[in-house]
Amino acid sequence: MEIKNTLLKEKLSTPLKIGSVVVNSRVLQSPLSGVTDLVFRRLVRRYAPESMTYTEMVSATEIHHLQQLPRLMEIDPHEQPISIQLFDCRPDFMAEAAQKAVQEGAKTIDINMGCPVNKITKKGGGSRLLRQPEIAEAIVKEVKKAVNVPVTVKTRIGWNDDEINILDFAEKMEIAGAQMITIHGRTREQGYTGKARWDIIAQVKEKLSIPVIANGDIFSVEDAIRCLEITNADGIMCSRGTLGYPFLVGQIDHFFKTGQLLPIPSLSERLECAKEHLIGLWEYKGKRGIYQARKHLTWYCQGFKGAAEFRDQCTRIDTVEEGINLLQNAITQVKLSL
């Protein structure tokens, strides 16, 4: 496996510049609601120490009305570089939230203009802003005025197949002051179905001068290479490919920098990682962490005999001890089958 495009290979060997921020990796960990908390990010960071990671998206309205900042914004001072992602449709609330995010340690402020979930779009946030470019522009301008760190945007190619407006929209975001844009190659209507349109991301890259990051359908090093060869983007952002597999960002980053593939983690190593993830969530969030761990464990537990039954058991754990015992039994079973 190799990157045949010489110019692309040279680009991947250099740092990513996001305005005044220099990141020594062109592979980013996407913000994922209910996933990219402090515990998950630490695991990703272990394998990709120089990559930019993102918090779960944070509501600017919630920040405005709460006296205490939401735990979603909590950052480990050792986990740089990190960005805090915000969402809302009110420029003043977004500017206020951005200032607080910078105080918490965010190296960049990312504005969510791509979330397809109804409860977000009905309030004017997320991908709804693709239909309201004037508001999206105002948000970028206000946030940029409010903070001294780069402002970035994450969005989609359009609302639906009849409203693929990303070329015009992305240009407006650059003019408004965005210093990087990440594009998920699907429409809002698609959600996470169908295939990501990398060809449309390529068109955006040709039009903009700011960095363009490609997102969507990155599940392996091979996917990352194909995506960049098609899009000529300045980097890639991993999303669903890291669910139950926090090794992915580091594997791609290592290949981009060295041209060498890291060994694929064994089933036992993945299950040991799952156990560490479970314990971390328990220590960080208590009982709520156990409930959140259920979905994570089902993502980790793939590819071994009895995995389906095991995943079913994982969805019902009530204590950290139950989860540890389940995982240890699975690890033993995998080792015995070798």
Q: Which residues participate in catalysis according to the annotation?
A: 115
DSSP string, 246-311: TTHHHHHHHHHHHS-PPPPPPHHHHHHHHHHHHHHHHHHHTHHHHHHHHHHHHHH--SSTTHHHHH
184 belongs to an annotated ligand binding site = yes
Pairwise CA distance, residues 252 & 259, whole Å? 10
Beta bridge partners of 84: 109
29 belongs to an annotated ligand binding site = no
Q: Spell out the residues 6+ positions from residue 106 whose beta carbon is closer than 8 angstroms to its own.
A: 75, 82, 83, 84, 149
Number of residues that this document lists for the chain? 338
Task: Read off φ and ψ for residue 277, nearest 5 degrees.
Answer: -65, -45
Pairwise CA distance, residues 47 & 252, whole Å? 10
Pairwise CA distance, residues 148 & 154, whole Å? 19
Half-sphere exposure of 42 (CA within 13 A, CB side): 17
For CA atoms 129, 135, 137, 140, the dihedral sign is negative
Query: Are the beta carbons of 224 and 233 closer than 8 angstroms?
Result: no
Q: How far is CA 98 from CA 32, 130, 205, in A?
A: 19, 21, 27
128 belongs to an annotated ligand binding site = no
25 belongs to an annotated ligand binding site = no
288 belongs to an annotated ligand binding site = no
Query: Are the beta carbons of 64 and 96 closer than 8 angstroms?
Result: yes
Q: Spell out the residues 6+ positions from residue 145 whose beta carbon is closer than 8 angstroms to its own.
A: 95
Query: Are the beta carbons of 282 and 276 closer than 8 angstroms?
Result: no
**Sequence ranges of the binding site for FMN:** 85, 154, 184, 239-240
- Binding-site members are 85, 154, 184, 239-240
